[in-house]
Structure 1
Amino acid sequence: MEKGTLLYEGKAKKLFKTTDPAVVWAEYLNQATALNGLKKDQINGKGELNNQITAYIFDFLNTKEINNHFIKKISSTEQLIQPLEIIPLEVVVRNVAAGSFSKRLGITEGEVLDQPIVEFYYKEDQLDDPMVIDAHINYLGLASDQELAQLRQLALKINQALNELFNSIEIALIDFKVEFGRQKDGSILLADEISPDTCRLWDKKTNEHLDKDIYRRNLGDIVPVYQEVLNRLEKRGK
């Protein structure tokens, strides 16, 4: 199997056709972005770390019967995935108040929520990915009521599995963003990536950030932080 023409280039990865129509070639980039792309830098080693962390987490989710598009990791920065029609929604699950949630609602960052909260955001860069409710999603034709119910259910199942995983390595899962896509038969799979780029992670003992907030808030270098997450995951796997 060989890499073909470029299908898509985003902020964090490139996707390519392959000689197998059932396989897409994903290449993780060293680009870091924040504030909807207003802040952007090249950071050596970032793509490799996110590729490896995502591969580990998606393999773990498979053991929890959470189907996803991941096939296998083929190099330090590349993996093979299934082709999907991506649903243009970011599904965010929040366990602890932080970031925009705290600012929007005036809730102190770090306050544990009574139960996980699921939010939807419309994936549209020109609109800065606005938060949307079911009525907006229906009006825009982004997903059916049945699909929305499934996305919520899957997001909460993923949350439960990720909490188990991160708790085992002394990391608190504050919140995270996931994306989903449709297969040709209409079934829905988890897509994109799960990494410190898409999760807010705090060390359980020190509350230190182990995620992209290090970059967003100019707190230091994200590479050693992401490496720490990978090291803990790999140590857990032994």
Structure 2
Amino acid sequence: MQKQQLLYKGKAKSVYETDDNDFLILHFRDDTSAFNGERVEQLARKGQVNNRFNAFIMQKLADAGVETHFEKQLSENEVLVKRLEMIPVECVVRNYAAGSLVRRLGLEEGQALSPSTFELFYKDDALGDPMVNESLSISLGWATKEQLEEMQRLTYKVNDVLTAVFDQGGLMLVDFKLEFGVYHGRIVLGDEFSPDGCRIWDKETKKKLDKDRFRQSLGDVIEAYEEVAQRIGVPLD
């Protein structure tokens, strides 16, 4: 598989074409951003840590029957993935109140949500990824009713699988976001899973071990990512 021209450069990953139209190469960069790209810094080892973390999680999901775009890790910073037709609607599951939910509703951070909540957001950086609903998503042609139902089913399945994985490491999976796409007619998970796209706290101390350490200037961001990785068994060496 030969890497070809740059297709897209996101906030933390670069996407490259390959000589096979069914596959792409993702390059995990050390860039770290917050507040819709208003704050950007380089954090040493971040790309490598997130790439290995993501590969570990994708294997856990595949073992549980969740089809993902992940094919194989190519190097410390690169991974081969299926080329999907992405659906511009992001799925968010919340197991505990945090982030924008606390700000919107005035909830206490850490309040347990039972059952877990499911939300949809329209993927548009210029608009700040606004919250939407199923009706809007269907009416505006972003996704069909059947696609949204499958995305919700898969998101909850991911939550069940990964809540157990993190619990075994003494960690709380507070919330996370996922994106999906279509691959040969099937809905497939088309996102990474790392501490960049979820909230993870220590069960006992509630110490934040995710990207909120960067957003809130708490320090030791990559050290926190590595701690989570070590506690759930991600091989970093």
The reply to whether TM is greater than 0.5 is yes
What TM-score, normalized by structure 2, do the two folds share? 0.96
For 2:213 and 2:24, locate their aligned partners in 1 and report how far apart those are by CA, in whole Å.
31
Structure 2 counterpart of 1:215, which letter? F
Partner of 1:180: 180
Q: Do residues 189 (structure 1) and 200 (structure 2) align?
A: no
For 1:234 and 1:166, locate their aligned partners in 2 and report how far apart those are by CA, in whole Å.
10
For 2:119 and 2:45, locate their aligned partners in 1 and report how far apart those are by CA, in whole Å.
31
Q: Do residues 108 (structure 1) and 145 (structure 2) align?
A: no
Structure 1 counterpart of 2:27, which letter? E
Shift in Å at residue 205 of structure 1?
1.8
Partner of 1:130: 130
Partner of 2:36: 36
For 1:12 and 1:37, locate their aligned partners in 2 and report how far apart those are by CA, in whole Å.
10
Partner of 1:215: 214
Q: Do residues 25 (structure 1) and 25 (structure 2) align?
A: yes
For 1:74 and 1:134, locate their aligned partners in 2 and report how far apart those are by CA, in whole Å.
37
Structure 1 counterpart of 2:102, which letter? S
Structure 2 counterpart of 1:133, which letter? N
CA contact (8 A) 2:53 2:234 kept: no
The superposition leaves residues 76-126 of structure 1 with CA deviations (integer Å, 9 ceiling, x where unpaired) of 111111100111111100000011101101110011011110100000011
The superposition leaves residues 174-227 of structure 1 with CA deviations (integer Å, 9 ceiling, x where unpaired) of 0000110111x3211001200000010001121100100000011112110111
Structure 2 counterpart of 1:208, which letter? K
CA-based RMSD: 1.4
For 2:55 and 2:219, locate their aligned partners in 1 and report how far apart those are by CA, in whole Å.
25
Q: Do residues 202 (structure 1) and 201 (structure 2) align?
A: yes
Q: Secondary structure at the match of 2:229?
A: helix
Note the 1:23-102 alignment, pairs <5 A: 23-102=23-102
For 1:207 and 1:221, locate their aligned partners in 2 and report how far apart those are by CA, in whole Å.
16
Q: Secondary structure at the match of 2:118?
A: strand
For 2:130 and 2:156, locate their aligned partners in 1 and report how far apart those are by CA, in whole Å.
21
For 1:48 and 1:81, locate their aligned partners in 2 and report how far apart those are by CA, in whole Å.
16
CA contact (8 A) 2:52 2:234 kept: no
For 1:127 and 1:22, locate their aligned partners in 2 and report how far apart those are by CA, in whole Å.
30
Structure 2 gap segments, 5+ residues each:
none
Q: Secondary structure at the match of 1:159?
A: helix
For 1:14 and 1:203, locate their aligned partners in 2 and report how far apart those are by CA, in whole Å.
31
Q: Secondary structure at the match of 1:166?
A: helix
Partner of 2:231: 232
Instruction: Identify if the C-alpha distance between structure 1 residues 44 and 235 changes in structure 2 by more than 3 Å, giving closer, same or farther.
Output: closer
For 1:114 and 1:20, locate their aligned partners in 2 and report how far apart those are by CA, in whole Å.
44
With 133-142 and 45-54 compared, the bigger mean Cα shift is at 133-142
Structure 2 counterpart of 1:186, which letter? G
For 2:113 and 2:228, locate their aligned partners in 1 and report how far apart those are by CA, in whole Å.
24
What TM-score, normalized by structure 1, do the two folds share? 0.96
- Give the number of equivalent residue pairs: 236
Q: Secondary structure at the match of 2:233?
A: helix
CA contact (8 A) 2:88 2:142 kept: yes
CA contact (8 A) 2:56 2:234 kept: no
Partner of 2:155: 155
For 1:224 and 1:132, locate their aligned partners in 2 and report how far apart those are by CA, in whole Å.
35
Shift in Å at residue 235 of structure 1?
6.3
Q: Secondary structure at the match of 1:163?
A: helix
Shift in Å at residue 42 of structure 1?
1.3
